[in-house]
Amino acid sequence: MAALIIAHRGDSAHRPENTMASFVSALEIGADILELDVQLTKDGQLAVIHDATVDRTTNGSGAIRDMTLADLRELSAGYPTLFGSAFADERVPLLGEVLGFLKGRGRALIEIKKESTSDDAESGIEALTIAAVRKAGMAGDVALISFETRALERCRALASEIMRGHLFHRVTADQLIAGARAAQSDLVMPEKGMLSDDLVARAQAEKLKVATWVIDDPEELIALSRYDLFAVASNRPGVLLDATLETE
């Protein structure tokens, strides 16, 4: 079975990442799953944006934790350094808006960023994200993912019914298994440079689904087929989907 294709921040090679334009495009080209990131604003809103600041992908500057939703809405999220003014009307979406769009159309991986995880277990970013997922009626169509084991442990305690995925970068196979066990994750997502026969075999022996990131080259996707991966994340999901169809 071919790996599922995850649209990493949407169709992010062709549209500004983590915007509605990127998510719409990803679904139009047939991506299996959308991946997106959430950060917490000053007034407790779940902004869909990767970085802790707006500097890279908008026409503004500053830390998201110091901005209200109204502050964010004044900015263009059109990623001007990559796309010029072509998507100047795009705004940083809220998680609820993205989930409302996705309902009945697709599935999502929601990454809870380490920098937004706090000591507030009851009303922090994990609880707010879970509330948004439940409100949208999407509990069966999303997975909550993070590099932060603590965040995933909270997700398990607050919403055991929602799938969890543990992201990893440059750790040992022992550390990967330990992190997955601590969070009782269903899915592990080691960075592609970590993949090895031993690591994948040990994860699969634990009954874990294994996915990886970021794969943009069809030849690389073919090379990774030996691992029987559950999914791969790509900035160019359309390219990988075309390659998958050609090899079927």
Would you please indicate which residues are annotated as catalytic (active-site) residues? 8, 50
* Chain centre distance of CA 34: 7
Query: Phi, psi (5° rounding) for residue 94?
Result: -90, 155
3-state secondary structure of 43: coil
**d(Cα 78, Cα 214) in Å, to the nearest integer?**
22
Phi, psi of 172 (to 5 degrees): -80, 165
Cβ proximity of 26 and 7 under 8 Å: yes
Phi, psi of 34 (to 5 degrees): -100, 140
